[in-house]
Every structure is written in C-alpha cells, then in structure tokens.
Chain A
Amino acid sequence: MLKKTAIENISQLAAVLMEKGTLLAPVKEVSCHNFAEISDPQKVDLKFYNTLMSPKSAFFPHREDFVKYKVGKPLSEAEHTILNLKPAFLFGVRPCDVKSFEIMDIHFNAAGIIDPYWRARREATTIFGYAYDINQPVDSADFYNTLGIYAADPEGSDIFMVKKDKELLLKSITPKGEKLLAELSALEKASSGDEKYYEDYIKKGKDYKTRFTCVDSEVIAKKIESIFDNTDFWTKMSAACLSCGICTFSCPNCYCFDICDDTLFGKGTRSRVWDACMFTDFTLEASGHNPRTQVYQRLRQKVSHKYSYHVRKYGVISCVGCGRCTRQCPVNIDIYSIIEAALKA
C-alpha cells in the first residue's frame, strides 16, 4: 500500500500518531536534529540530513531505570519498572539506522538471555524508515554502502517514506505497517505516478554513492585479528584520540552499558546507563588490574569489537556506516580510514 501527504501537513499525521501512542521523531535543536518524544506535533521536522545522535535510544535509552527502592528496606518493597508500554512510532529513521536495529536485535533480542527492556520497547514500536534525499549531496563521513546498505533501502522498516518534491510517499513494508497505514485515513491515496516515482527512487538509491571499500566480513574479521599485536598500527591510529567516547555514544550499534545505583536522602534508583569501552576505567578491576590502560588498546578494542569479535560471535559487522562517529570526533578519527588502513596493514 502506498499513501502520501504534503510535507507541510506532516504535523497532522504526527497528531494522529500521538493519539495512537508515543511518537518519537526528529526535532530541530540549536544546531542539529535529534529524535525526541513529541508533545507538540508542529515540532516534527523532516528537514534534516541525519540526526546527531542515533535513534538507538528509542529502544536503549541513555538511562533505563530498573528499580526504585528505599535504602536498607527489604527487596520486596522495591518498585520495578513496568514493561507494558503503549504503542510507539519511531518516525523518520534513515535506512542505515534501521539496519542497526536488526544488528542490535541479535545481541539483545535473540542470542542468549533476552534483554526484557529492549524487547518490550522494540515490540511496541512501529518504524517509519525515511530514505535519504538523493537530490542532495551525500555527507563525506557516510560509508553505509561499504556495509551493503543503500540510501533508499526499505528493509527493516514497517513503513518506508520517500520524499517527492513537497510530498511524502509512505509505503507499507511489513503486515504491521500495512495495518497501520490502512488506519491512517488522514493520508491521501497515492496515484500510479506516485507508485512509479517510489519504485524509481528505491532503484536510484543504489546509485547514491557513499564512500565504499570492498569489505567482506570474514576477511576483515581475520585481518583485524591478525594485526592485534601490531602496536605501531594501533598507536598511530589512536594518536589523537582523547578517549572522550562520543564515537560510542553517537553510534547506533554500540551497546556497552553500566549498571548504577543513585541514592539521595535514602531513596535510590538502579538503572543502566550507556558506557564506553573508550573510557579508562571501563575495565578497571577492584584489584587495581586494568587490561586496557592505553588509548591504543581501547581504540583497538572498539574497532576489533565491531569488525572482528562481533562477526565471530554473531556473524555480522556491528557498524552501519552512518558516519556519526567520524562527523562528531573532535580530533577527526575516522573508522572508515582505520578499516582501509587495516586491510593494507
């Protein structure tokens, strides 16, 4: 099913979705766009290239409270977070970011013990993917083509959206998306011309080129393993790194977290918060031993985890080439260049 709406009427669609549940969509901030829970439908803004932070927080928020308690009281009195969420709509997600959910699903929602928070949020959410505007220049940091992802890749979305001049075309991809799209009576029916435009757009998305290096997951995994002890290589790659961790926080596929207890005046909350393998105390043990005291060891861990360990454990690279880590690194460390260099090392 294909439907459409004028982009200037997007707030009407937003208002309908807000009636049905929680709406998470891009909003304009001071100098960027970010996903936020919408309270004013007028705030939804689709004039963005990609959001500063990834949309992973829709399922894996920066802080997730597990339990609230009173210090010293029996555990049975603690209040656990209720996981029965109302339906949510994640609106305007770029194809590379949609792909990141699939990769995170393996870790949180399929392999080993299931993460109940990720699963509950994921199951409650309908994803509106949004093709990159192929009439605008590609950002030089992006390299999602390298990971086999294209600018107008509908895979993984429930509903996929394409911009057609001043209109937005919405195509149902999954049965969940089909059902929702049928319910959205505020949207207009698309014409056969729109259908053709949509199909053409998906095809043209393949010609919208980001940076590209031929990366076979097995080959790169093996290569990264083979240069583990090449300290010169990793020292050179990490020479400028400040260990600030912004690469991991902005990454749609980084999932490391800490579990923290915050207490004040006898009341406390146990929550998980994002953490980063780039931080010096990430692996500091109570004994004082720390296997990764050096910056090069931590950058090596981050790159190896994404391009080697994750492949070995789950069969896929844990990177979608969204370019956020490169764009936001204060010292211009570029993981794409590291991978290129690693292949030649």
Chain B
Amino acid sequence: MSNNPYIPMPVQIAKIIDEVDTHDIKTFRFAFLNKEDEKNFKYMPGQFAELSIYGKGESPIGIASSPTQQGFVEFTVQRAGTVVPGLVTSALHDMSEGGEIGIRGPMGNSWPIEFLEKKNIVVVGGGFAFTTLRSLINYMLHKDNRSRFGEITVIYGARTPGLLLYKDELAAWETRDDIKSVITVDKGDDNWKGRQGFVPAVCKEVAPSPKNTVAVICGPPIMIKFTLPVFFDLGFSKENILTSLEMRMKCGIGKCGRCNVGSKYVCNDGPVFSLAELEELPRDF
C-alpha cells in the first residue's frame, strides 16, 4: 500500500484469459509499473484489492493468484451489469493487454494460514466464487508449503462445463496425487465426461471426515445454504467452517462505513470469517 491509501498504484495488463464460454469472466494478470509498489504489495490468499480506473471508479476484487507466484498479481473479474451498470468491470473487460489501470491494496484479512497448518483442508467452491480459493489451493500446493498441510480435497462445481474457471489448472490437479480434486457440473454437455450433480450432493457423497479438518466454502448463497447442513451432518464445527463475505465497498480500508455489519467492517475485519464468527454478527448482510 502506498503512503496515501486512497491513491492507486499503476499496473499494466500483462495477460488476459477469457475463462468461460459466456465470455463475461476474464482473468487479468497485472504487472506493477513501479518495482517499489510490487515489493510493497505483500498479500496472502483470501485478500482483495480495489481495481481502479480513473474516470470510471473502483471495484473490490479478490486476488486470484497466489503469493508464491512472483512478478504479477491476478484477478478474475466478472463483467457486472445485470442490475446495476458495472462501470469498472465493463471498462476492464473492454481493455487489451498492455493497458494501464490502478490498484489499491492488498486489503482485508486472509485465509488463516496458521490455523490451517497441520490440518486437512476441504475447499468447496461454486461457480465464480472460486477465485480466492484458487489462490489458497495454489499456495498450499507450492513445493515450499505442501508439507505444512494435511490432505487437500477440492470440491468445485459450476452450472455447465463451459463455466468452470481455471480449466488448465483443474486438469493439472487431476494428475497430482497430493490433492484430491472433485469437479462437478450441474448439467454436462455432449463432451463432458466428468461428474454431474450439485455441489451439496457431491459434498455428501465425498463425505470428508471432520477429524482435524477445516472446510473452506465459497459460492453463491443458494449453494452455501444447502452445503452448510451437509457439513454440519458430517460433524464439522462452526469454528472449522470458513467463508468469505461480500458487501458493497468503497474505501477498502475500514473508513467509509459502507461494508459495516455490526461492529465489523467486512473490508478490514473480513472478508474471511468462520461460521462461528458470522453467527455473532447481526443478520444484516
């Protein structure tokens, strides 16, 4: 973060990956234009940053790359605009490699790595809400880190095969023996040879043991609603189920008051909370 937390650091779009067949979700790889900024941008999986385009505004987006990847930072961004026009995300989607934008961050807490160490990790993701989970998985899979964690299980689902993010990485995880990866789609197509079924049902089938295990769950509200009971039935405690909250944000540094829920600012005290912590908050999000 620069000296003035409201002033963005310049970054250049080094690479754009069109992630899905609906073409409304792209991964942007940014390279810092100032070496000093790159050095200062120290992040952990689960944190986010404000993507900033002068003339449009700013959007808080989870960091999709892992800090073990050097020289760039990645964000997977959906073009918003079904209800409220997404000025920043639309402008970003219309940009090309080589374009320049601003970035403020890193912001928020992260997936609690120390808490996760020496434990088995079950990562459950649905649809587009897989970005900071991908960061976490790649962090844990890095050769310097893998031994710090127990078994890693990933259960990831999307509505259709074309909507799965990070397809190359999903394929690579299938071939590794230090991660159990279960990929599912709600409805397959003619080419889909994999699993079909909703994420909650697949979780029930996989039935991870709660013993020394933490579940990290992100997805659309409907997925969360039906997935949580599965984990409760399996015997997971609320302290051992983690998720990441979304609220409308502006400043990202706990000042503007917008993402306030109870005594917490989601941008600063979150976005990562355990289910036990969420239960302490008023139902106002």
Least CB separation from A115: chain B residue: B255
Q: Is B10 an interface residue (CB 8 A)?
A: yes
How many of A's residues come within 8 Å of B, CB to CB?
A: 51
Judging by beta carbons under 8 Å apart, are B7 and A287 in contact? no
A75, CB-defined interface residue at 8 Å: yes
**What is the interface of chain A, defined by CB distance below 8 A to chain B?**
66-67, 69, 71-72, 74-76, 78, 80, 107-108, 111-113, 115-116, 225, 228-229, 255-261, 263, 268, 270, 272, 275, 277, 282-288, 291-292, 297, 301, 304-305, 308-310, 312-313
Contact B282 A228, beta carbon cutoff 8 Å: yes
Closest CB in chain A relative to B263 CB, distance in Å = 3
In the bound complex, CA of A325 to CA of B144 (Å): 57
With known contacts A80-B4, A112-B253, A113-B253, A285–B247 Cβ distance under 8 A: yes
Please state if B55 and A292 are interface contacts (CB–CB under 8 Å): no
Instruction: Tell me the smallest distance from the CB of A109 to a CB of chain B, in Å.
Output: 11
**Which bucket holds chain B's interface residue count?**
35 or more
Cβ of B180 within 8 Å of any chain A Cβ, yes or no, is: no
Q: Is the CB of B54 within 8 A of A78?
A: yes
Q: Check B257 against A259 for contact (C-beta < 8 Å).
A: no
A residues in contact with B86, CB < 8 Å = 286
| Count of A-B residue pairs with CB < 8 Å | 130
Complex contact A288–B55 (CB within 8 A) = no
The 23 sampled A-B contact pairs (Cβ below 8 Å) are A66-B7, A67-B54, A107-B255, A113-B5, A115-B5, A116-B3, A116-B4, A229-B283, A255-B255, A255-B257, A256-B258, A257-B255, A258-B256, A259-B6, A259-B58, A261-B57, A275-B258, A282-B248, A297-B284, A305-B257, A308-B263, A309-B260, A313-B264
Taking the closest CB of chain A, its distance from the CB of B268, in whole angstroms, is 6
Contact A301 B284 (CB under 8 A): yes
Q: Among the interface residues B1, B81, B251, which one has the most CB atoms of the partner chain A within 10 A?
A: B251
A225 near B247 (CB under 8 angstroms)? no
Cα A78 to Cα B57 in complex, Å, equals 15
- List B contacts of A310 (CB < 8 A): 263
- Contact present for A270 and B54 (CB under 8 Å): yes
Determine whether the beta carbon of A75 is less than 8 Å from that of B256: no
Besides A66-B4, A282-B258, 18 other A-B contacts (C-beta < 8 A) = A67-B54, A69-B54, A78-B54, A113-B5, A116-B4, A116-B5, A228-B283, A256-B257, A257-B257, A259-B58, A275-B257, A277-B257, A283-B258, A285-B84, A285-B248, A287-B82, A297-B284, A301-B284
Report which B residues bind A (CB closer than 8 A): 1, 3-10, 33, 54-59, 80-84, 86, 89, 100, 102, 246-248, 250-251, 253-258, 260, 262-264, 268, 282-285
Which listed residue (B5, B33, B55, B257) contacts A71, Cβ 8 A?
B55
Chain A residues with CB under 8 Å of B9's CB are: 75
A263 x B55 contact (CB < 8 A): yes
B263 touches A312 (CB 8 A): yes
Chain A proximity of B185: nearest CB distance (Å)? 22
Chain A residues with CB under 8 Å of B258's CB are: 256, 258, 275, 282-283
Contact pick for A283, options B7, B248, B263, CB 8 Å: B248
Chain A, Cβ-Cβ closest to B251:
A259
Complexed CA–CA distance, A115 and B251 (Å): 11
Minimum CB distance partner of A282 in chain B: B258
Q: How far is the CA of A115 from the CA of B282 in the complex (A)?
A: 27
Of B4, B58, B82, B257, most buried by chain A (CB within 10 Å of CB) is: B257
Say whether A75 contacts B10, CB under 8 Å.
yes
Q: Which of B84, B253, B255, B258 has the most CB of A within 10 A?
A: B255
Nearest 3 CB-CB pairings of A with B: A288-B83, A312-B263, A256-B257
Rounded to whole angstroms, the CA-CA distance of A257 and B250 in the bound complex is: 8
* Chain A hits for B7, CB < 8 A: 66-67, 80
How far in angstroms is the closest Cβ of chain A from B110?
16
On whether the beta carbons of B10 and A76 are closer than 8 Å, the reply is yes
Q: Is the CB of B55 within 8 A of A286?
A: no
Q: Would you call B84 and A286 a contact (CB within 8 A)?
A: yes
Enumerate chain B residues within 8 angstroms of A115, measured Cβ to Cβ.
Answer: 5, 255
Q: Is the CB of B57 within 8 A of A259?
A: yes
